[in-house]
Amino acid sequence: MVPLLWALIAGPLLAYDLDDSPTAADLSVKVAELRNLVANTRSGDERVHEFARRLFERIPDAQVAVHVKLRGWDMERVTEKDAASIDRLMRSAGARFKTFAEEVPEPDLKDAYASATVLHGRDRIAYDSSLPGNQMGSYRYDPRTTAWGRVKVNEWIAQVATVIGDAFAFTTLIHESGHADQHQKGQLSPAAVVLGEIAAFHVEYSWLKLLDPHGERLAFLCTKALNAQKNEPSALHAMALAYVTHLFEVWETGGAFGKIEELVRKRGYEDGHAPGNGAKTPTRS
């Protein structure tokens, strides 16, 4: 008797139109119907599967399932095809900084950005082909005075910008400008390398957080760079992949002092000397 009753109920259920306006109430009814259908030993696997398939295919369109607020990515303009000049990186970063920042940026980031603007205005940021491949930039300064030093940017960055976009490529410039800002404030010591790097990496983190508050764009860029290197291996794609992987590592610290310190030490910085720093003029990479 019971199986017959289930069969009678199950029959009309399959005819129920799943394509009509799925709302929370509808879905809840249909889920209950599916449960009943599964419980009915006479339903037959195919009928259960068909019902389940149609139900779950509808869920992504259902109003109940899309209450998540889709913000979209507030993005700067699309990636340019030509190599980026320092001037273009500054303009792209400026547009991002002024136009898209909904909240007041973190104070050290604001100061580092102001330093970048001064340095660029005095033509003290330039590409340099002599930096080793694993060093993206440097800040060279005189610790005896607060005279502005010079930022050197690995010329690879000009090309990397064509893959990952100007705003992310600008990260090296904001890191070095973070050192320049510390120098202006009298806080940059040639001996306290680790502390200086922590401060600069924190500025770097704040910049990334401004560009990509939830890390979605960086995750996407890592995947994109990984695929590019897999499908079309090249020195540029390898560099872009290494660069975005580094950015993602910085983003993942969440800006926490201890985690940034861990990252700084992992990258080989030690107090007393920065890696590869044999020059007389103190340099920060």
The helix or strand, by DSSP H or E, that contains position 236, with its residue range, turns out to be helix 235-252
* 3-state DSSP assignment of residue 151: strand
If one asks whether residue 200 binds Zn ion (CB under 5 A), the answer comes out as yes
Q: Which is nearer to Zn ion, 174 or 200 (CB)?
A: 200
If one asks whether residue 284 binds Zn ion (CB under 5 A), the answer comes out as yes
Q: Which is nearer to Zn ion, 51 or 139 (CB)?
A: 139
Contacting range for Zn ion; rule: CB under 5 A; set: 81-89, 95-103, 193-201, 235-243: 193-201
The helix or strand, by DSSP H or E, that contains position 283, with its residue range, turns out to be strand 283-284
| Secondary structure letter of residue 60 according to DSSP | G
Q: How far is CA 187 from CA 75, 146, 153, 192, 249, in A?
A: 34, 10, 22, 9, 25
Euclidean distance between the first and the last CA atom of the chain, given in angstroms as a whole number: 81
Write down the least CB distance from residue 179 to Zn ion, Å: 6
Contacting range for Zn ion; rule: CB under 5 A; set: 48-56, 92-100, 200-208, 239-247: 200-208
Q: Which is nearer to Zn ion, 51 or 148 (CB)?
A: 148
Write down the least CB distance from residue 158 to Zn ion, Å: 20
If one asks whether residue 263 binds Zn ion (CB under 5 A), the answer comes out as no
Size of interface with Zn ion, in residues (CB under 5 A): 3
If one asks whether residue 174 binds Zn ion (CB under 5 A), the answer comes out as no
Q: How far apart are CA 107 and CA 178, in angstroms?
A: 11
If one asks whether residue 247 binds Zn ion (CB under 5 A), the answer comes out as no
- If one counts every other C-beta atom within 10 angstroms of the C-beta of residue 22, the result is 19
